[in-house]
């Protein structure tokens, strides 16, 4: 079953943070090694931006576009997050926008310790799942989200 059209990941790396560690955390979240990304032709995009006080912030982004990649991530995600967090994802309807983008934030420091904790803070790994619902309606997308994250 197709659950997502595209899944977008983004993380900001502050000048005081270890860039390689932050990138490693993103790869852990996505569930692909750097060699697997190359093999599967998944592009890891790295850009720079000016932050407060003209400090350079590095931005790492990645998109999963193929069904097999999206499904692999979603299956892995459902296994990695706690039952409580899965229920929270189902209950928080405001995570889904009118374009059927479902937003999840993972605590950056916890993920570097291989713990998949949800957060509302900005110091996080941003994940946007464009839910594949037909017809394209929020109520249909909610059903898919419930199916993905249902708790037993």
The domains found in the chain, sorted by start residue, are: 4-149 (3.30.1440.10)
pLDDT (tens place) for every residue of the chain, 152 residues total: 899 999 999 999 999 999 999 999 999 999 999 999 999 999 999 999 998 888 999 999 999 999 999 999 999 999 999 999 999 999 999 999 999 999 999 999 999 999 999 999 989 999 999 999 999 999 999 999 999 998 65
**Residue 38: CA count within 13 A, CB half-sphere:** 3
pLDDT score for 151: 67
């Amino acid at each position: 079953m197709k659950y997502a059209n595209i899944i977008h990941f983004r993380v900001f790396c502050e000048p005081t943070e270890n860039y390689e560690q932050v990138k490693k955390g993103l790869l852990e979240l996505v569930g692909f090694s750097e060699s697997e990304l190359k093999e599967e032709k998944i592009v890891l995009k790295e850009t720079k931006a000016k932050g407060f006080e003209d400090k350079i912030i590095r931005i790492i982004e990645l998109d999963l576009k193929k069904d097999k990649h999206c499904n692999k991530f979603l299956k892995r995600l459902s296994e990695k997050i706690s039952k409580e967090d899965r229920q929270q994802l189902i209950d928080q309807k405001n995570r889904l926008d009118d374009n059927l983008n479902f937003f999840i934030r993972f605590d950056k420091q916890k993920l570097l310790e291989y713990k998949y904790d949800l957060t509302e803070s900005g110091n996080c790994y941003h994940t946007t799942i464009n839910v594949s619902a037909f017809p394209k309606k929020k109520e249909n997308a909610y059903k898919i989200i419930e199916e993905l994250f249902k708790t037993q």
